[in-house]
Amino acid sequence: MAAQPSPPPQVEAATEKWLAVYTPVSSPVRFAFIGAYFFTLQMLFRRYVRRDLRSSAYVAVSMRIILAVIGIWVLVEAVAMAPPAWVSSGQQKTQTVEKSLLVLGFVLGVFPRVGWQVIQTSIKRVFSIAVPSLQTQLPLSDLDGLTVWHEARLEEEDVENIPNMATADLIDLLINTRFPPDRIIDWVDQAILYTHLGPQPKKNGDPGLRSILRAHGIRTATSLVEDYNRSEFHKDREAFEEIITASGRNPMRSLVDAVGTNPTLKLIQTWKGLMPHSHGQAREGSEAGHLSATPDLGQLSQPSPA
């Protein structure tokens, strides 16, 4: 079989030029831009599918790119001022550090908060100065069904943590975000309960109140109140209250009373057709635990009578 003739030099040169176009220049700043571009492409596509592509989306894209570039500039300088023992050890070459900065730049573009965590740790080690953290003890990522794409969208609505979600305006979220109504209501329902329970313990072996309640099927504030109401019908109120034990007043009663003070909880109970908790005798029909009808979205926007 005859050998294939080699392409002319002009063709090879043109091919190399085209390949060079798709080969990124190895620079931390460029990789930070690529990371931000990687995230924003997916974010814009998801918002386009939801018909939620508005001007705030492009502002968020610009902010992410700018923060990623500024962040990697500072990180490069932080690595340069770090002691040699932290940057390299033994036969490790400078090239390894440069490659690590490329990966860090990409990660910083996707998750800008990572950059502040690295800077915070470096300053604490070098100067022994405590820098405030941008992380919250109750992040939105703790909510079931909420991803980084949802977090990025909710930040535009000034919802940055679980307490913000627990006190958010349901009507604004339903109209502005284009997320399914039941999904938003479930997130707010979870947030109300988690706000009162507090952050999860970091100690090993301690399951925390969330895990204890979840083991009994309780993951939202409305499910807590509903199960508490039904425990009277099932005649196991005392056993239900012993799910959470502590000295002093029964903590389960205090928790049910506390979540009931959130005004948004009443709207969620109305949406789901559930009854609120009452200290008096259970109203007629409470054994069923549901109202006869579920109001539409318009009823949620009506202010409650004084």
Over residues 46-72, the pLDDT tens digits come to 999 999 998 989 999 999 999 899 988
Same domain for 232 and 186: yes
* Pair of tokens at residue 181: 């109504």
Same domain for 263 and 161: yes
Is 133 within a domain? no
Same domain for 253 and 146: yes
Summarised one tens digit per residue, pLDDT across range 272-286 is: 988 776 654 444 444
Helix, strand, coil abundance in the chain, percent, nearest 5: 60, 0, 40
Summarised one tens digit per residue, pLDDT across range 166-202 is: 999 999 999 999 999 999 999 999 999 999 999 877 6
Is 153 within a domain? yes
Q: Provide the angle, in degrees to the nearest 10, between the axes of the packed helices 148-155 and 28-49.
A: 80
Same domain for 187 and 104: no
Same domain for 199 and 109: no
Summarised one tens digit per residue, pLDDT across range 205-230 is: 677 888 899 999 999 999 999 999 99
Tell me, rounded to whole angstroms, the distance of Cα 300 from its chain centroid: 26
pLDDT at 161 over 80: yes
pLDDT at 2 over 60: no
Q: Where are the alpha helices (DSSP H) in 159-296?
A: 162-166, 170-176, 181-197, 208-214, 221-233, 237-241, 251-259, 263-272
Same domain for 147 and 36: no
* Pair of tokens at residue 65: 């790119």
156 DSSP β-pair partners: none
Same domain for 149 and 114: no
Number of domains making up the chain: 2
pLDDT at 16 over 50: yes
Q: What is the pLDDT of residue 82?
A: 65
Same domain for 198 and 111: no
**Mean pLDDT score, 286-290:** 44
Same domain for 218 and 150: yes
Q: Where are the alpha helices (DSSP H) in 82-169?
A: 84-87, 94-110, 113-127, 148-155, 162-166
Place of tokens 């508490």: 228
Same domain for 112 and 144: no
Q: What is the mean pLDDT of the chain?
A: 81
**Mean pLDDT score, 65-89:** 77
Same domain for 150 and 119: no
Are 79 and 101 a contacting pair, CB within 8 Å? yes
Q: What is the pLDDT of residue 298?
A: 47
Is 135 within a domain? no
pLDDT at 5 over 60: yes
Residue 43: give the domain boundaries. 11-127
Same domain for 225 and 153: yes
Q: Could you tell me which residues come within 8 angstroms of residue 23 by beta carbon, excluding any fewer than 6 positions away?
A: none
Is 67 within a domain? yes
Rg (CA), the chain: 27
Is 257 within a domain? yes
Whether the pTM exceeds 0.85: the reply is no
Most confident of 133-137, 186-190, 241-245, 279-283: 186-190
